[in-house]
Structures are given as structure tokens and as C-alpha cells.
Structure 1
Amino acid sequence: MIFTFVWAGWEGVAHDSRILTEVVSDVDSGFPLPPRNKYYLCDAAYANTRGFLAPYRNTRYWLADFRGQRALTKEEKFNHAHAKLRNVIERAYGVLKARFPILKQMAPYVFSTQRDIVIACFAVHNFIRMQKLEDQLFEQCDRSADSDGSDGEENENIPEASQHESQQGTQGAQFMTNLREQIALKLLTSS
């Protein structure tokens, strides 16, 4: 539940995928692209492309969609496992916003001050988590994750991305689509 990168300064109405596209293409941003054979989990609003693994579209995805109903198809099994992992990200944002209500309704400071407040909030959040300080918000979040099983171990033995040159565009999308299929089949056969 530690944030690895913060890009502050966009309007709240800017779409996340647009911001990601901009930050990835800006060589001066310092954005840490995933190492070879690794990828970031992202939601369906993002492209399924090299280094960014999105769920299957038009298939059950949200954890609440699976309560009381098992995942049946390989796509549903993949989306369920994906959602459980992405839930950690959502919980991290939940803790951040609960700790710093100013992030929900920013005070009318000058732009540079607003940007600095956002960065400082993320830094303090990370400091508390990294130092393992006693913290009621993190403890509550960890307890709820343990009780609802949202951090399950369903994702062991998932195949890694192959030793493939980093590519963008159609080849990158096809690579990640193939990888997603491999993972989905592995999850289907392992249950």
C-alpha cells in the first residue's frame, strides 16, 4: 500500500489514461516503467499494452460481482484475481483520502501550493507505511482485507512475461493480450 510514483498538477477532471499516456511519454517525468517480465495492473479504462495489464472487458470484474457466485469462465477467473489484487490499490487510496480530507476538497490555494500539498500527503502516507508506525487507518484496512479475503493467494504460479523486447503499439497490445490469456488459462486449470 505504498505509492511508487506521484504526478501532481492535473485537473481533477482529466482522465487517468490521458495522464498516464502523458507521463509515460515524458522522459523527464521519472515514471518507473515496469521491469521486463513485470507489469502494472490497471483497470479497464486503460489500454492493455506492454507493461500494463487490464482486465477482460464486458466480463464480471468488481469484487462485489462475485459475492455469492463463483467465477466460472477463464475470463471471470482472471478478472476476479485481477480485482482482488487491484483492491490493494483502492484500499491505499481509501487510507490516503481518509487521512487527508483536503485531497477530496482542495482549499483555494495557488496552484503550486495545491500541487505541493498533494505530494506531501503521499509522502507522509508512504512514510507511515514504510516505517510500520502504529496507525489506526492502516490497521483497520489490513483487518478488513484479512476478513474479506481480498488479498488471497490465488495468483501463485502465474506465468511471467516472456523474454520479449519492450514494444509499444499493436505488438505491445498483442503481447499483453497473449499474456493475459496464459494467466487466465493457468488460473482456470489451477482451481
Structure 2
Amino acid sequence: MRFLLAFLATVLTASSATAHTGAMTTGGFTTGFLHPIGGLDHVLAMVTVGLLAFHMGGRATWAVPASFVGMMVVGGVLGAAAITLPLVELAIVLSVVVLGAIVASGRALPSILAIAVVGVFAVFHGHAHGAEMPVAASGITYGLGFVLATALLHGAGLLAGYALARFDSGAKLMRVTGAAASCAGLLLLAGTV
């Protein structure tokens, strides 16, 4: 229960707009690290990736988050190189809706499908990070920052899955958490959060 309260406090204090305004003007590792945790859309998506990985179990526990991180780096390079992708912000918010809905369904996707879905969304998350890298920042240290923050958020999702499973062997809490993430994504999509 303490974990859920801490999770909610983190999610509710993250701003949905901070990560995409160019508000972060310093460079390097710290800015890269703060970018994913500064936006509610990123936090929800990345924690939900961890929940999905826990829910699937087995090799998916590491393969799903690893695919997100790897494809996010690809997207980060595209963004830093000013290669445009269509509808980046929409894809980021849709990632929250879709990933939350998958967890809420209570069904485990085939691993290859989960890796593909997560990987596609990760490209858009990475693009946003790379496109908003400050001009003076080192791409490597900035990239290491957002990779570490993302991995930690995935880890938080895995820990949340573990905590939820300990309290609820029927996985109702996991499904409710996925539904809550998906609903939050819909609210972000509607512009109300």
C-alpha cells in the first residue's frame, strides 16, 4: 500500500507539459534524466511498460523493457538529428492508453507482439527526448540521462507489479492499475490533465 501511495504521489506531481515545452535549458546528464520524469505521459507509459513486463513474466520481464530502451535510443537519435516523425505527441499519449489497456485486459500478449508494440511507441518517446535536447548538451550524456531515468521507471513498474501481485493473487489490482493508466492517457488525450 505504501508503494501505491508513493507511486500516486509521483504521478500526480509530474506535469504533463513540462517535458515537451523546451523548459529545460541546461545540458547534459541531469537534463536528460529529468526529461522523462518531468512529463506525466512519459512516466505513465514507462511505468506501464514495467507492469506489462511483470504481468507477462519469464523472458518478457527483461525483454519488453529492453526493447523499449533500445528503440527509444533509436528515436532519440532521430530526434536529435532533426528527422521528423508524424504525430509524436499523439503517439506518446496513445502509448499510455494502449499499454494501460493491455495490462487492464489481464491477457498476456505473445512476447514478440509485446516487444513490437512497446518498441514502436518507444521510438516516439525517444524522438521527443532527442528533439528537445538542449543545443549545448552532450548527446551522449543527455542520452545516458534519459536512458537511466527510463530504466528506473520500468523498474518502478516491475516493482509495482510485484507489490500488486503480493496483495492480490487474482491480479485484479494489476488490471485496475492498467485501466487507471489507460484512463489517465484518455484524459491526457482530451487535454484535461
TM-score (norm 2): 0.29
Larger Rg: 1
Higher RCO structure, 1 or 2 (CA under 8 Å, sep 6+): 2
TM-score (norm 1): 0.29
